[in-house]
Amino acid sequence: MLIINVKDDESIDRALKRYKRKFQMTGVVNELRRRKNFEKPSVSRRNEILNAEYRLKKFGSVGQ
C-alpha cells in the first residue's frame, strides 16, 4: 500500500501527481498486463530473437 504524506502547504493536485508517479514506479500495472496472457518461455525467447533481428536490419549494428 502506498502512503503519501500531504504537506500543509501542498495542493491536493501535487500530492495526487506524486501518488501517480510512485504507483507507476512500482510496476503493478505492467505486471498485471504481463500476467494477463501467459506466454511460454520458448515463445518469449523467439520474440526476443525476432525483435533483435528486426532492429539489426532496420538500424544496423551500433559499432559501425
Q: What is the mean pLDDT of each run of 10 residues along the chain (64 residues)?
A: 88 93 92 91 96 93 64
Instruction: State how far the Cα of 31 lies from the Cα of 22, in Å rounded to an integer.
Output: 15
Instruction: State how far the Cα of 29 lies from the Cα of 6, in Å rounded to an integer.
Output: 24
Q: Where are the beta strands (DSSP E) in the chain?
A: none
Q: What is the reported pLDDT for 64? A: 54
Q: What is the reported pLDDT for 63? A: 60
Query: pTM for the complete prediction?
Result: 0.53
Instruction: State how far the Cα of 31 lies from the Cα of 24, in Å rounded to an integer.
Output: 11
Q: What is the reported pLDDT for 62? A: 67
Q: What is the reported pLDDT for 46? A: 98
